[in-house]
Amino acid sequence: MKALFSTFKKIILFLMYLSITIFFSSSCKKDPKIQQTKIVTIPTISGNWITTSYTGYPCGKLIVKDSTIFAGNGNICKSMDNGNSWTTFNISGEAGDCFLINGTNIFSGGGNEGYPTLWLSVNNGTTWTQQLISGIDGTFIETLAKLGNNIFSITTSSLFLSTNNGTNWTQSINGLPANTFAHSLVVKDSNIFAGTTKGVYLFNQQTSNWTSVSNGLPSDANVSSLAVEGNNIYAGTMNYYGIYLSNDNGNNWIAVNNGIPVDPNGGAYSLISSITISGTYIFANVRGSIYLSTDNGSNWLLITGLPLY
Domain extents in the chain? 173-309
Mean of the pLDDT values across residues 70-99? 80
Q: How much is the pLDDT for 216?
A: 97
Answer for the pair 283, 292: CB distance below 8 angstroms, yes or no: yes
For residues 193 and 165, the model is more confident at: 193
For residues 5 and 303, the model is more confident at: 303
- The per-residue pLDDT of the chain, averaged, comes to 80
pLDDT confidence tier of residue 17, bands split at 50, 70 and 90: very low
pTM of the model: 0.79
Mean of the pLDDT values across residues 203-227? 95
Q: How much is the pLDDT for 262?
A: 83
Q: What is the DSSP secondary-structure string of 288-309?
A: TEEEEESSTTSS-EEPP-----
> Percentage of the chain surpassing pLDDT 90?
44
For residues 259 and 94, the model is more confident at: 259
- Sequence-separated (6 or more) residues with CB below 8 Å from residue 158: 137, 138, 171, 173, 181, 182
How far, in Å, CA of 273 to CA of 75, rounded?
A: 23
Q: Is pLDDT at 299 greater than 90 in this prediction? A: yes
Q: Is pLDDT at 44 greater than 80 in this prediction? A: no
Q: Is pLDDT at 158 greater than 70 in this prediction? A: yes
Q: What is the DSSP secondary-structure string of 172-239?
A: --TTSPTT--EEEEEEETTEEEEEETTEEEEEETTTTEEEE--TTS-TT--EEEEEEETTEEEEEESS
Q: Is pLDDT at 77 greater than 50 in this prediction? A: yes
The model's pLDDT over 108-142, given as tens digits with 9 standing for 90+, comes to 998 887 889 899 999 888 889 999 899 998 888 99
Q: Is pLDDT at 41 greater than 60 in this prediction? A: no
- So what CATH class is 173-309? mainly beta
For residues 309 and 215, the model is more confident at: 215
